[in-house]
Structure 1
């Protein structure tokens, strides 16, 4: 595992149901956290409709711009599940019935393996499979692209099957310092501490609770010792600015 190179990923969320508001996406937060453990940073997310040309264009751009691209949605048994076809077109590949995927589905469904269900064995030519412990219909890996289901529990099972399988850097760690203060009152302090500690990022997340305003300041680094040092520096700087810091999240 390397620690100096930053590995990045993008997520492409596919589905008219997401854009219409009928379905709320639940995969983004889970994937971001999972990638962080793998030492990969989620850098870009797009949500697009079930449109062949739109999917193909997004796949070409995102797979070229990042080390990994994950897609969710559009690999089911119905006519509007067009993700496989669109990604194959984007890569200039044919769509084939993957023999291993067909065998998995045949074992799972038996005599109930319909033509519709067999659509879930279709992959871009040359693809490998991602295990689906939940419903067996596999996910798909082609080049640096991981094609996954839209149903969160299925996606999570596929990601579990990929644990430790992707090349990445050091995991990004985090530590939180909080305060009952307006975000603007701490802005200059946050900037000064971050500038004094290269390689560390500090994010500010305000909230309103019990009639009071507060903020959580999340410090991120791949180095646990540096993380602790910056947390101590931030608490000291906040205190010097007249803001009482709290070690931990509010």
Structure 2
């Protein structure tokens, strides 16, 4: 399964808020064997949201959109997603019923637009908040507040699956550039994917079938200066 993640918010682009949602979703989806192939951050503009969602829903098995849900002036994500499908945004009776049952809200308690989702969309309950999410086609619309986004994602997590690859790591006490020849040879010898992540040391991440990944890691450990753990 191949997916794209779209995070929405002027505050993310300005650096006022750190985009932790994309990292968390990427990790959770990868754990489920899903290939995350795009992550993009968009401003609170209906046209931009509609254009990117329309492009990505044609290219990927699913699109996850976070941020910009609710009734305030800059909560435009539902409008953008609806525009991508050529639909209008309407008040969801299911959302109103859920808000009444779960939170004791009446329609008069809610700001206008709180329960609005694209016409024909499947409403998603918000276990940690008020604004509902939705699923329309292959597009999943989740809140931007991290606690709400995480809780809502867990309600649909089983809808995302793929082949989970085994991961083996080798931590080398050498410059990343010095490892190029050995990583190239490893790729030639083994049917795995390899990533290298420099810092105080270089972590080489090897993914593939369990036996193949572990064999590749063992081969590399014999050919690099390993970082001492201090234990």
Give the structure-1-normalised TM-score.
0.85
Give 1:231's match in structure 2, choosing from 207, 217, 222: 217
Give 2:117's match in structure 1, choosing from 123, 126, 136: 123
Structure-1 separation of matches of 2:10 and 2:225:
47
Task: Find the residue that maps to 1:202 and give its secondary structure.
Answer: strand
The answer to whether 1:201 aligns with 2:193 is: yes
Residues 235-250 of structure 1: matches in 2 within 5 Å?
235-236=221-222, 238=223, 243-245=224-226
Determine if contact 2:95/2:125 at 8 Å carries over to the other structure. Answer: no
Determine if contact 1:59/1:90 at 8 Å carries over to the other structure. Answer: yes
Structure-2 separation of matches of 1:247 and 1:175:
17
Distance 1:136 1:81, change over 3 A: closer
Where does structure 2 lack aligned partners over 5 or more consecutive residues?
none
Q: Give the corresponding residue for 1:92.
A: 86
Task: Find the residue that maps to 2:12 and give its secondary structure.
Answer: helix
Give the structure-2-normalised TM-score.
0.92
Instruction: Give the root-mean-square deviation of aligned CA atoms.
Output: 1.8
Distance 1:180 1:247, change over 3 A: closer
The answer to whether 1:218 aligns with 2:205 is: yes
Per-residue deviation, 1:141: 0.6
Give 1:106's match in structure 2, choosing from 100, 108, 113: 100
Where does structure 1 lack aligned partners over 5 or more consecutive residues?
1-6, 209-213
Task: Find the residue that maps to 1:69 and give its secondary structure.
Answer: strand
Determine if contact 1:106/1:113 at 8 Å carries over to the other structure. Answer: no
Q: Give the corresponding residue for 1:180.
A: 173
Q: Give the corresponding residue for 1:45.
A: 39
Structure-1 separation of matches of 2:218 and 2:225:
13
Structure-1 separation of matches of 2:176 and 2:105:
59
Q: Give the corresponding residue for 2:58.
A: 64
Task: Find the residue that maps to 2:206 and give its secondary structure.
Answer: strand
